[in-house]
């Protein structure tokens, strides 16, 4: 059943550009069983009329064609079992050559979701409040949206790269995610065809790959860490890899998994970096430390040699056994993240201990698992689990990807890392699937002459009897991860080839916003943002006020979007002759800075000049390694529209 509510218009609040209207109306459809749950139309135009009770489509359209009228609104609700339809119309005259705009907006308000309610219930009480908010705030909302779009797409990055970044930004706004009234945030792994969620909730070894939400909405992402460490962690430090909803009472769930446990620690450090102060880390560090200690006890053991052995359940939905760099480097990344957090919290004993374990593990994996081209798994011959053995696994450097995203350095020797990344492209990238023999019965995401990166191949034999699951599948979340790793290692053409194949796959008869795996809008695909971080050589530490860039491609003429804890903007770099010009322009929010790091092509510098919004600004400079470090005399807070210009000459 539907009822109608009308609001007097205000010429100062047009809903759409050019739609200065004497009347703004909101049509609301409400269920009889729950009058608070409703949907509606809002319109902005001349002579708005509403009809909330038409039922026969042919009669309605015939009357509209003959008379130009949609009928009149009526009060009340339909009887149980009877459905009414609603319509909203604007009638006006238009002269030759003239144009007019009429805006219609679909609105909804569904309170009480899961017994808690949606976050927007803190802001609006009913759907008509939403309409009035939109009327009031539309100009600001549109301006900021257009500004964000234009900043993101004003870039020297290939268009297909930016398309893959922007497309996966849509996933949090689908039914994949829920932001509830108590400020808790939850996400499924993916969506069923009917829009319902599959594989609940916040699965930490699938969301392990997500970077988009964390980079664009860091405060929301922090809610997931609070849930991980304050609701889903046992007293012994084990973090359940799926959230047991609702968040009350005894912690329950399916238990801890090694890659998800590691990612919880790595993500906690990332969220600290994407903060404006130390408050988040001060709250989370004791819990993150407990999670780190559980990981050491449970998978490393009493020898604490930095190598995980035994059963290691992971995102491939099975245990693997024995040392390997897929889960092993994630352990190393967690140790490094924990070391850095311990240092900042003054826990020197923990920092030294984690460093010692890391160094032993790094040395062992390097000396024992590198076969000359890539890293393999040392698996038990009894093969109790699903292993990859001597295979070239696309995820073999997942931990290195995490280390790169948080500026933690190399986990394994650089030469070995680059060789392994090159081997992944050589052996796992399939340029033409029309000649590929799907023999393992896995799901098929690429067919015909399409291209893609599969999870694992065995170019040198040594395939275990029970191989790791999903070996022949193509997951975009891993394709983006590998592409980001390639960019970091200077394998630019290979990285762009992978991203281009994903773009072609999803713009050729498929929904370009919906990358699938186990369901639609699969969360793992939000790893795409890592490509931007790699491409711009982004370095950021919010609490310390450190911002840095080191573009990895198009270094002589580079421009891209960047985001920080409290704002976002545009970074550019141009090199001409013996001069490099860098510009950082804040477009939204604010940015607190104490130090700026840049990388000129020549480190023997002749001069450095810096301006803030067109005026000289004091600074001190020094060279650290191959970077120019600019220190400001005190905390510098950029506001919207502020611009830092640095001109370096040598």
Burial of 479 (0-12, 13-18, 19+ CB in 10 A): buried
CB 516 within 8 A of CB 190: yes
Whole-prediction pTM: 0.92
What are the angstrom distances between the C-alpha of 356 and each of 83, 291, 303, 352, 539?
69, 18, 12, 6, 25
Q: How many residues are given for the chain?
A: 650
DSSP state of 106: E
Distance between CA atoms of residues 56 and 544, nearest Å: 65
pLDDT confidence of residue 75: 66
Burial of 210 (0-12, 13-18, 19+ CB in 10 A): buried
- Residue linked to tokens 């200690």: 293
CA dihedral 182, 183, 184, 188 (to 10 degrees): 120
Burial of 548 (0-12, 13-18, 19+ CB in 10 A): buried
Per DSSP, what are the bridge partners of residue 558?
573
Mean pLDDT along residues 86-111: 88
CB 521 within 8 A of CB 506: no
Residue 212 CB neighbour total at 10 angstroms: 24
Q: What is the Rg, in whole angstroms, of the alpha carbon atoms belonging to the chain?
A: 27
Contact partners, residue 175, CB within 8 Å, separation at least 6:
188, 191, 195, 196, 197
Provide φ and ψ at 66, rounded to 5°. Answer: -80, -40
Burial of 482 (0-12, 13-18, 19+ CB in 10 A): buried
For the chain, give the percent of residues with pLDDT over 70: 93
pLDDT confidence of residue 415: 98
Mean pLDDT along residues 569-592: 98
pLDDT confidence of residue 479: 98
| pLDDT grade for 378, boundaries at 50, 70 and 90 | very high
Distance between CA atoms of residues 158 and 160, nearest Å: 5
pLDDT confidence of residue 610: 98
Please check the confidence at residue 4 and state whether its pLDDT lies above 80: no
Please check the confidence at residue 17 and state whether its pLDDT lies above 50: no
Contact partners, residue 198, CB within 8 Å, separation at least 6:
188, 189, 190, 191, 192, 518, 519
Residue 557 CB neighbour total at 10 angstroms: 12
Mean pLDDT along residues 55-75: 85
Residue 269 CB neighbour total at 10 angstroms: 26
Distance between CA atoms of residues 189 and 415, nearest Å: 35
- Residue linked to tokens 């600019």: 630
User: Could you report the per-residue pLDDT of 474-522, keeping only the tens digit for each?
Assistant: 999 999 999 999 999 999 999 999 999 999 999 998 999 999 999 999 9
| pLDDT grade for 595, boundaries at 50, 70 and 90 | very high
Alpha-helical segments (H) within 437-549: 476-488, 492-506, 529-535
Please check the confidence at residue 608 and state whether its pLDDT lies above 50: yes
Q: What 3-state class would DSSP assign to 548?
A: strand
- Both tokens of residue 531? 């490509």
Mean pLDDT along residues 421-427: 98
DSSP codes, 151-197: HHHSSSS-HHHHHHHHHGGGGGGSTTEEEBTTS-EEE-SEE-TTS-E
Contact partners, residue 60, CB within 8 Å, separation at least 6:
54, 70, 71, 85, 87
pLDDT confidence of residue 249: 66
Distance between CA atoms of residues 446 and 430, nearest Å: 10
Q: What 3-state class would DSSP assign to 77?
A: coil
CA angle 302, 307, 311 (to 5 degrees): 85
CA dihedral 597, 333, 486, 545 (to 10 degrees): -20
Cis (ω within 30 of 0) for the bond into 170?
A: no
User: Which segment of 48-62, 391-405, 585-599 scores lowest on mean pLDDT?
Assistant: 48-62
CB 581 within 8 A of CB 609: no
pLDDT confidence of residue 73: 67
Please check the confidence at residue 15 and state whether its pLDDT lies above 50: no
For the chain, give the percent of residues with pLDDT over 90: 76
Distance between CA atoms of residues 71 and 63, nearest Å: 8
Mean pLDDT along residues 199-227: 97
Please check the confidence at residue 22 and state whether its pLDDT lies above 80: no
Mean pLDDT along residues 141-153: 97
Distance between CA atoms of residues 138 and 450, nearest Å: 42
Mean pLDDT along residues 223-244: 94
CB 109 within 8 A of CB 126: yes
- Residue linked to tokens 């409290």: 566
Q: What 3-state class would DSSP assign to 58?
A: helix
User: Which segment of 285-299, 374-388, 592-606, 609-623 scores lowest on mean pLDDT?
Assistant: 374-388
Mean pLDDT of the chain: 91
CB 4 within 8 A of CB 50: yes
The beta strand positions in 285-336, using DSSP E, are 311-313, 319-321
User: Which segment of 1-5, 433-437, 438-442 scores lowest on mean pLDDT?
Assistant: 1-5
User: Could you report the per-residue pLDDT of 520-559, keeping only the tens digit for each?
Assistant: 999 999 999 999 999 999 999 999 999 999 999 999 999 9
Mean pLDDT along residues 76-105: 85
- Both tokens of residue 593? 């800075």
pLDDT confidence of residue 31: 40
User: Could you report the per-residue pLDDT of 38-52, keeping only the tens digit for each?
Assistant: 777 777 778 888 887
pLDDT confidence of residue 25: 40
Distance between CA atoms of residues 536 and 147, nearest Å: 20
Mean pLDDT along residues 368-385: 89
| pLDDT grade for 223, boundaries at 50, 70 and 90 | very high
User: What sign does the dihedral 129-134-135-137 (CA atoms) show?
Assistant: positive
Mean pLDDT along residues 80-106: 86
Helix (H) or strand (E) holding 269: helix 258-273
Shortest CA distance to 138 belongs to which of 44, 213, 220?
Answer: 44
Mean pLDDT along residues 300-304: 94
Residue 47 CB neighbour total at 10 angstroms: 12
Q: What 3-state class would DSSP assign to 132?
A: helix
Please check the confidence at residue 14 and state whether its pLDDT lies above 90: no
User: Which segment of 30-44, 268-282, 396-410, 500-514 scores lowest on mean pLDDT?
Assistant: 30-44
- Based on DSSP, count helices (H) and strands (E) in the chain, helices before strands: 14, 26
Higher-scoring residue by pLDDT: 91, 189: 189
């Amino acid at each position: 059943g539907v009822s109608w509510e009308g609001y007097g218009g205000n010429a100062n609040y047009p809903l759409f550009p050019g739609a200065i209207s004497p009347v703004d109306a909101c049509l609301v459809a409400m269920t009889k069983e729950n009058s608070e749950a409703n949907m509606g139309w809002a319109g902005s135009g001349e002579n708005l009329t509403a009809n909330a009770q038409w039922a026969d489509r042919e009669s309605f359209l015939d009357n509209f064609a003959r008379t130009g009228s949609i009928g009149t609104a009526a009060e009340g609700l339909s009887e149980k079992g009877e459905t009414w339809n609603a319509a909203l119309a604007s009638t006006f005259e238009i002269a030759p050559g003239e144009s007019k705009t009429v805006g219609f907006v679909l609105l909804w308000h569904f309170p009480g979701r899961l017994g808690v309610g949606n976050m927007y219930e803190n802001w609006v009480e009913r759907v008509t409040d939403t309409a009035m908010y939109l009327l009031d705030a539309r100009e600001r909302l549109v301006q900021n949206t257009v500004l964000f779009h234009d900043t993101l797409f004003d870039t020297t990055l290939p268009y297909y790269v930016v398309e893959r970044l922007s497309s996966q930004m849509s996933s949090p706004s689908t039914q994949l995610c829920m932001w509830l009234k108590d400020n808790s945030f939850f996400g499924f792994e993916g969506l069923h065809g009917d829009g319902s969620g599959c594989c609940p909730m916040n699965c930490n070894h699938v969301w392990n790959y997500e970077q988009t939400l964390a980079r664009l909405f860091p405060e929301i992402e922090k809610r997931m860490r609070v849930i991980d460490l304050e609701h889903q962690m046992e007293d012994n430090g084990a973090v359940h890899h799926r959230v047991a909803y609702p968040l009350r009472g005894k912690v329950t769930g399916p238990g801890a998994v090694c890659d998800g446990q590691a990612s919880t620690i790595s993500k906690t450090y990332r969220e600290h970096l994407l903060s404006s102060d130390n408050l988040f880390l001060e709250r989370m560090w004791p819990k993150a430390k407990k999670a780190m200690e559980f990981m050491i006890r449970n998978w490393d053991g009493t020898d604490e040699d930095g190598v995980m052995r035994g059963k290691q359940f992971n995102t491939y939905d099975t245990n693997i056994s024995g040392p390997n760099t897929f889960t092993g480097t994630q352990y190393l990344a967690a140790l490094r993240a924990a070391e850095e957090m311990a240092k900042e919290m003054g826990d020197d004993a923990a920092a030294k201990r984690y460093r010692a374990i890391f160094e032993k593990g790094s040395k062992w994996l390097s000396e024992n698992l590198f076969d000359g081209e890539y890293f393999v798994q040392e698996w038990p011959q009894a093969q109790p689990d699903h292993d990859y053995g001597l295979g070239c696994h696309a995820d073999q450097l997942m931990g290195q990807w995490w280390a790169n995203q948080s500026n933690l350095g190399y986990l394994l020797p650089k030469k070995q890392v680059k060789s392994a990344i090159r081997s992944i492209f050589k052996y796992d990238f399939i340029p033409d699937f029309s000649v590929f023999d799907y023999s393992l019965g896995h799901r098929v995401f690429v067919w015909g002459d399409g291209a893609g990166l599969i999870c694992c191949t065995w170019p040198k034999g040594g395939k275990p009897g029970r191989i790791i699951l999903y070996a022949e599948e193509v997951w975009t979340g891993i394709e983006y991860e590998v592409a980001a790793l390639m960019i970091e290692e200077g394998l630019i053409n290979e990285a762009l080839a992978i991203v281009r194949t994903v773009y072609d796959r999803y713009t050729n008869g498929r929904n370009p916003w919906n990358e699938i795996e186990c369901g639609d809008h699969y969360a793992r695909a939000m790893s795409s943002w890592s490509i931007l971080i790699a491409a711009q050589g982004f370095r950021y530490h919010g609490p310390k006020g450190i911002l840095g860039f080191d573009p990895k491609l198009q270094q002589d003429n580079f421009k891209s979007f960047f985001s920080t804890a409290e704002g976002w903007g545009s970074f550019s770099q141009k090199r001409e002759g013996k001069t490099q010009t860098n510009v950082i322009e804040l477009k939204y929010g604010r940015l607190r800075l104490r130090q700026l790091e840049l990388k000129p092509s020549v480190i023997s510098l002749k001069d450095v000049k810096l301006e803030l919004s067109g005026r000289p600004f004091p600074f001190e400079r020094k060279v650290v390694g191959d970077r120019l470090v600019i220190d400001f005399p005190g905390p510098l807070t950029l506001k919207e529209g502020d611009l830092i210009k640095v001109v370096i000459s040598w």
